[in-house]
Each structure stands twice: as structure tokens, then as C-alpha cells.
Structure 1
């Protein structure tokens, strides 16, 4: 049974007065940023900084990617109230050993200060990815779709975008102040849709795209979602590279127009280079 969710979306931008390089006044849009304190069964867990586009999916995805909740059926409801900046999660049977499992926290390099609980880092080696192969032309299709995507970044800047694709077909595009929030929101949406990467055809795999760099946190979260191919407009960190190699995850970075670098998992790409 799926959880009950509120629909407490909030405005993504706010207009402010600025002066340009000539000292002339202008009115421009900037991204909104809100604090959202997450309570699980009345226990305060964490405060997330977010745009607030899909806060309920964000909360579900956060619990999923922290491995605090193993199945969406374990959650009875998610209630977001922007008047008090809180998200209240009610589970059906509680979370076993929640104090112990959330005691050790690692602050990551995510924009807006991402964090993961220490035990999660210890479980990386147990992750197993499904078979997945992405054609080079499909990769170019992903980059073209992103190029044409309307976004808060284009109008206001200062946010990260993430998207989920099936092959070159975009399923969902999400923006937030931190890329870790955007990927958690996608994870929550996948849960609500019952979307499982193992069900996808190997030659039309689920592919995760992000505008941000590929850190260890992003690689681990992608793997936990069962997504074996990750594409970024930016580069990659050393720890992200090590974890991706360990998991056999394909990472593609510096991807813009028809240029890219494959850092790991080249066997998951079906190379179709065009003549120079």
C-alpha cells in the first residue's frame, strides 16, 4: 500500500531588486531556498535545505537513499507543512534501531551540505547493479533533451538539475539547491511509481543525469536506486571514481553537446563514434 502524501509544493523563485554593472536597477528572479525539518514518528531526524518543488518525494527518497526504510510500503504518510517548515513521516511499524543507525553522520561535498549516515558507507560493497547498456547515440539524445529542457536554472541560476531517463526518453526532471536533494526526489518518485531498474530492458536502461559533479554520494545513491549509468555535465571526484569502479557503474562526465569522457564502466556503453 502506497503512503498518503500531501502536495505542498512552493514557489521556486522570488523576484529581488539588483543593480547591474552600470548601476542601473533591475528586477531579477533568484531561486527560493527553504529549510524543511524532517520528523520520523515524531523524532527529529534532519533539516534539509530545498527549493520545495516536490517535498514529499524528497522525503521518501531521502529515507530510501539513507537505507532507513527498505520499502515504500513501510511508510504510512508524509505530511509537509510549509507554515512550520516541517515534514512529518509516520511509519507503519517504526524504524528499527533508528538512534543507532543515525548516530554517525558524514557531511559530504554536496551543494547545500549533503550528508549520509555512516553505516550507509559501510554497505556499498553489497550493492548489485542490473545489466545495462547505453548506445552512444542514445547518450547524445539525453544531452539534447537536457539542452532543450525548460528550467529554473535558465531563468534564475544557482540550482542543480537532475533527470531520470529510460534510454533517451526523459521520465522526470527535478531541480533543487543541492544535487543530493534532486536525486533523492527522483528516488522518492521512483518508489511511488513502482519503477524498478531491474525491470528495464538492458538496451533501454534507466540513466541518471545530473548537472553537478559525480561525488561518492551521487554514485552511491544512483547505485542504491539500481541505476547503473550516470551522466554529468561536470567532472568526477577521486572517491566517486573509486566507488564507481568498485560497483561496476558507468560514469560519463564533461558531457556537453557531442563531447564526453567515460570515467568508469566503459563496457556499459555501446560505442558508435561518428567519423571525425
Structure 2
């Protein structure tokens, strides 16, 4: 399921793109612990093979809610294309499970740049290319005075996500990612892997010229190094997760000066890094309940 702010215009000179759609849920019959049969919905996972100028590059396993944006964001986060105007078109055809990307001038050394493939910890098996993780020192995020978050804003953001209609509520087995400005939800997408979801948001940001410096990124998935790196490439300095953080994700966020929040649900959270970006408004400790023996 996808949600996007309706009022944004696309940048000029954007690529021509299809608007491929397919069924997101599939009904199956199951038997429960009582021996009773019933029908439930499950996510309709499918492969999408990306071809760049007729050369096969990678196959992504995806729900397919916004496949063109997924491809666009994947190209951006892999740093295979630097300028949106360099992409002539993106055509997705679900009959053959393929996305055909045509560039205006080709991608120099495409084989070399995609040769160092790293299989990530992502659900749905994410893939990044080795040199992406080597670009840390080139990333510049807004300083803590310009990009920060109040505890009340964080609580409001979590409340918006709690009320968000989603495929996960209907069928489970997917991850969701969202982009916020304050407590305003700008973009929400679900996919079988959190990497696909964040790449789709990256594509949406790129297509509409949305800057990440004053935004907050939310994910239901864990904050691994590649998820932190992708958020940083999108220019987003504040990341919130319903899940936890890995050691490499923590180290990378510390190095980049990002604020990471994990185990975030309802009014509970842990701030792992970037305390200087966080305006704490502490909750009142609940009084301990004493049990008196009768």
C-alpha cells in the first residue's frame, strides 16, 4: 500500500515512466490449529529484473506497489545515475517481470561498477554494490542546529503510523517505510523488503525534488548499516525504527552525525545516537505499584 502527498509537482526533464500495477494481495486457503479451513490474504511477492540499456543488472523481489519509483530510487541509492535528467525512460512490464531503463548517454563502466555485489541482511535479500559503502566521507548532512526533532513530534509521528492503514494489518509479511516533515506524512510505502521500501521513497523524493534535510525517515525494519547509508544518501539526518539497530548501523550513524531512534512504538523509544539533534521532553515515571500481602 502506498501513500504520497498529492500536491507535489514533478521536476522538469523527468524520465518517461509507465504506471504498472498488479494485485498486491493474494487469497489462499489455510488450516488453523482447530482443524478449521479459512481464506486469508498474503502479499503477492514477485521478481522484477532491472535492465539498464538492455543489460541485465539485478533482480529485486518486490510487492510491486510502485515499481517505477522503486527502480528510480534503486538507481539513485546505488549511485549508478547522478542526474535525474540522465534517465530517458523506465518501463515496467509485469507480464515478463522486467523493468527496462534507458539512459540518455549510457552509464560508464557499468559492468565494473556493478561487479562488487554485496548481499545484505535485508528481508527479501537486498543488494548493494561495494563502492556505495565507501562514499561515507562525501556525505554532508545538516548540522544539529538545523535538523532536529522534539519528543512531542516523535510521539506524533508514531501516532500517525499507528493509525496508518496498511497491508501489514491485513496480511503481515511486509515492511513499511515513511517520510515525514514534522508530523506530516509525505510518503508511505510497503514492500516485502525494507530495502525496496526505502528505495521507493528515494525515487519519489528524486522525482519531485524533495530535500531530506528537514525530514524524518521511519521504517518498521531494523537499522542496519545499509539502511543507515541509504537514509544518509537521501540527505535525511533523523531515522526512526520500530525495530532495533545493529553495531555497524550504530557506528555508521555516529560517524555521519545522524540521530537514530529504535524500539519506537506508542510513546516508547530508545535514542541510540545523535542526542544533540533531540529535544527531550521526558515522560513522568510511573509510580511503582506495591502489592501488600493480605
Query: What's the TM-score, normalizing by structure 1?
Result: 0.96
Query: Cα offset for 1:196?
Result: 1.4
SS of residue paired to 2:232: helix
Q: 1:262 aligns with which of 268, 271, 277?
A: 271
SS of residue paired to 1:79: strand
1:54 equivalenced with 2:69 (yes/no):
no
In the alignment, which residue of structure 2 is the partner of 1:134?
149
**How far apart in 1 are the matches of 2:275 and 2:90?**
40
1:177 equivalenced with 2:192 (yes/no):
yes
In the alignment, which residue of structure 2 is the partner of 1:86?
98
**How far apart in 2 are the matches of 1:211 and 1:267?**
24
In the alignment, which residue of structure 2 is the partner of 1:30?
42
In the alignment, which residue of structure 2 is the partner of 1:150?
165
Aligned length: 270
1:230-257 Cα deviation digits (max 9, x unpaired): 0000000011011101100110000011
CA contact (8 A) 1:163 1:172 kept: yes
**How far apart in 2 are the matches of 1:91 and 1:268?**
39
Aligned ranges 1:221-232 → 2 under 5 Å: 221-232=230-241
1:211-247 Cα deviation digits (max 9, x unpaired): 0000001000000000000000000001101110110
Once structures 1 and 2 are overlaid, which stretch shifts more, 147-156 or 9-18? Answer: 9-18
In the alignment, which residue of structure 2 is the partner of 1:40?
52
In the alignment, which residue of structure 1 is the partner of 2:20?
8
SS of residue paired to 1:185: helix
Unaligned 5+ residue runs, structure 1? 199-204
1:88-147 Cα deviation digits (max 9, x unpaired): 001111111111111101111000111110011111121111231111100001100000
Q: 1:159 aligns with which of 174, 185, 206?
A: 174
1:247 equivalenced with 2:262 (yes/no):
no
SS of residue paired to 1:197: coil
**How far apart in 2 are the matches of 1:22 and 1:129?**
54
Query: Cα offset for 1:273?
Result: 1.8
**How far apart in 2 are the matches of 1:157 and 1:275?**
34
CA contact (8 A) 1:196 1:226 kept: yes
Unaligned 5+ residue runs, structure 2? 1-12, 286-294
**How far apart in 1 are the matches of 2:83 and 2:233?**
13
In the alignment, which residue of structure 1 is the partner of 2:222?
213
Q: 1:191 aligns with which of 176, 184, 206?
A: 206
Query: Cα offset for 1:197?
Result: 2.2
Query: Cα offset for 1:274?
Result: 3.3
1:38-93 Cα deviation digits (max 9, x unpaired): 00000100000000000000000000000001121111110000000000001111
**How far apart in 2 are the matches of 1:187 and 1:65?**
7
**How far apart in 2 are the matches of 1:177 and 1:146?**
18
Which structure has the bigger radius of gyration? Answer: 2
In the alignment, which residue of structure 2 is the partner of 1:202?
none
CA contact (8 A) 1:125 1:246 kept: no
**How far apart in 2 are the matches of 1:156 and 1:197?**
31
Query: Cα offset for 1:10?
Result: 1.4
Query: What's the TM-score, normalizing by structure 2?
Result: 0.91
